[in-house]
């Protein structure tokens, strides 16, 4: 039997991707998936400002690897220029007009070395086989300039509610959650510096307007719904 092509399941999810993510537990936290992506974008922008400063931010070149239907690209566009890539053409076909996208091979991005200041992936790595994740991270490292940043966002296996939602999500069947420590080690072994893990998604959408400001202060607490690991590409 031949192995399914990486990303192939998403070809079949593209038509009703949002509905397939729906879960009653998830709905307790936010009305729909956009909230989760918006919060990741806020966290990413904070991380970029922390690592690269604010002075050149409107000129930054961002890569959204595994952009899916392009929600993060739409949210980040006022901040900086963003290019999205995905292995699933049907997912890319749902990106709203104006989004710059490219269909890619799983481990070969169609960009020259050092093309981007920042590369990020939102909830993509658990869809890549564990033994192939380091290879993908190496490819993100290749297309980021020295001194640039790579950030990988994932579900937090230490949060029992996230775990429960993950286990019953149709799109995550056959996938394994990635412990933060494992991803942290992968960044270090790939040669990134200043590798740091930050936890996020503590405050539900209904309270975000009032209490959202505490999110950045809780980044050390391994109980958030998701987390991200970031590293800076070594300057040769």
Ligand X SMILES: C[S@@+](CC[C@H](N)C(=O)[O-])C[C@H]1O[C@@H](n2cnc3c(N)ncnc32)[C@H](O)[C@@H]1O
Residues at the site binding ligand X, with contacts judged by CB under 6 A: 6-7, 10, 37, 65-68, 71-72, 85-88, 91, 104, 106, 122-124, 127-128, 136
* Residue 72: CB minimum distance to ligand X, A: 6
Nearer to ligand X, 147 or 169 (CB): 169
Would strands 144-155 and 226-232 be described as parallel, antiparallel, or unpaired? antiparallel
Under DSSP, the state recorded for 2 is: P
> What minimum distance in Å lies between the beta carbon of 235 and ligand X?
26
- The distance of closest approach from Cβ of residue 127 to ligand X in the complex, given in angstroms and rounded to an integer, is 4
User: Rounded to the nearest whole angstrom, what is the least distance from the CB of residue 193 to ligand X in the complex?
Assistant: 24
Between 147 and 175, name the residue whose CB sits nearer to ligand X.
Answer: 175
Q: Choose between 65 and 186: whose C-beta lies nearer to ligand X.
A: 65
Long-range (24+ apart) CB contacts under 8 A made by 7-11 are 7/86, 7/87, 7/88, 7/91, 7/106, 7/127, 8/88, 9/171, 10/68, 10/86, 10/87, 10/88, 10/90, 10/91, 10/127, 10/171, 11/88, 11/89, 11/90, 11/91
**Which residue is closest to ligand X by CB?**
68
C-alpha to C-alpha distances, 93 to 32, 37, 63, 179, nearest whole angstrom: 21, 19, 18, 32
What is the CB neighbour count within 10 angstroms for residue 29? 18
Of 85 and 159, the one with the shorter C-beta distance to ligand X is 85
Closest CB to ligand X among 8 and 220?
A: 8
Q: The tokens 């070594």 sit on which residue?
A: 234
Query: Taking the complex as a whole, how short is the minimal distance between the CB of residue 55 and ligand X, in angstroms?
Result: 28
């Amino acid at each position: 039997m031949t192995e399914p092509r990486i990303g192939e399941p998403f070809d079949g999810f593209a038509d009703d991707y949002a509905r397939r993510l729906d879960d009653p537990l998830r709905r307790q936290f936010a009305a729909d998936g956009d909230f989760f992506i918006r919060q990741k974008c806020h966290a990413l922008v904070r991380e970029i400002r922390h690592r690269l400063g604010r002075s050149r931010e409107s000129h930054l070149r961002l890569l959204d690897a595994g952009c899916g239907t392009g929600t993060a690209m739409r949210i980040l566009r006022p901040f900086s220029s963003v290019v999205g890539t995905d292995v699933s053409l049907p997912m890319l076909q749902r990106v709203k007009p104006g989004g710059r996208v490219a269909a890619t091979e799983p481990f070969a991005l169609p960009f020259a070395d050092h093309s981007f200041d920042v590369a990020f992936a939102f909830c993509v790595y658990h869809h890549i086989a564990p033994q192939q994740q380091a290879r993908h991270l190496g490819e993100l490292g290749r297309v980021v300039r020295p001194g640039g940043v790579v950030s990988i966002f994932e579900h937090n296996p230490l949060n029992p509610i996230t775990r429960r939602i993950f286990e019953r999500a149709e799109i995550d069947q056959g996938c394994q959650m990635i412990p933060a420590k494992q991803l942290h080690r992968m960044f270090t072994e790939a040669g990134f510096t200043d590798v740091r893990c930050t936890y996020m998604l503590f405050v539900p959408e209904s309270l975000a307007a009032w209490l959202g400001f505490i999110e950045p202060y809780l980044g050390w607490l391994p109980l958030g719904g998701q987390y991200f690991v970031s590293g800076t590409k070594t300057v040769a």
